[in-house]
Amino acid sequence: MEKMRVRLTFIDDILGTAPSDPEIHRSYIASKAPDAMSTEEEVAALGVDEVTEKGMTVFHKDADGNPVLWNYQIKGFFKSACSAMRALEGTKSSKLKAYKKQIDLRIFVFADEKNRAERKIPISVSGEIGSCQRPLRAQTMQGERVTLANSESIPAGSSVEFDIVLLEPKDRAMIEEWLDYGSLNGIGQWRNSGKGAFTWEYVKS
């Protein structure tokens, strides 16, 4: 077993992903995040009182109202990065079979490995939390429909630190490959546009 402690520094704004309506969020957690340990804990962390516009996606919050990422969001990024990299010949990820299951069983993320019960990873915010609006276009039976998406936005230069525990030390090179991919496609809403992209580095425990 090995531990990596890393810092992600966002090179573009990162956008919130949680619906501001707690009932929508409750349904989402139940249907899309079966590995979440506590639905009530997730919903309570949303902090919807600070958000007035229904439909806006926001950041999860800690007890003091500060924005956080959940550890399972980092694992979700790992799965997404692995999915992209394993299709490329010669990558470390291309050798990992049943990759989603293997990531779940072999790689663990903690805000601090010494306190494994704490699953919320604080975001060190550089600047002011704002919002990002962008149009969403979809083809319907009635023609093209345009709606406005709105998300809380934390500025570039913000960062997170967390521990990664590896059951298989050889997975380190593969995880580094995924973290490198984060400079192209990162974490949060609208990441295909570059939002949530990051650089990374090792930090001492």
Measured distance CA(7)–CA(199) in Å, rounded: 8
Which pLDDT score is estimated for 107? 97
If one counts the domains in the chain, the total is 1
pLDDT tens for each residue of 110-166 = 999 999 999 999 999 999 999 888 776 767 777 776 666 788 999 999 999 999 999
The more confidently predicted of residues 74 and 150 is 74
- Does residue 37 carry a pLDDT above 70? no
Q: Which domain holds residue 159?
A: 2-202
pLDDT tens for each residue of 60-73 = 999 999 999 999 99
Of the listed ranges 81-90, 98-107, 140-149, 152-161, the one predicted with least confidence: 140-149
Angle, vertex CA 23, rays to CA 20 and CA 26, nearest 5: 95
- Does residue 78 carry a pLDDT above 80? yes
Residue 51 confidence class, pLDDT cut points 50, 70, 90: very low
Percent of the chain with pLDDT over 90: 65
pTM: 0.81
- Does residue 53 carry a pLDDT above 90? no
Of the listed ranges 101-105, 144-148, 173-177, the one predicted with least confidence: 144-148
Residues paired with residue 161 on neighbouring β-strands, in sequence order: 7
SS (H, E, C) 115-151: CCCCCEEECECCCCCEEEEEEEEEEECCEEEEEEEEE
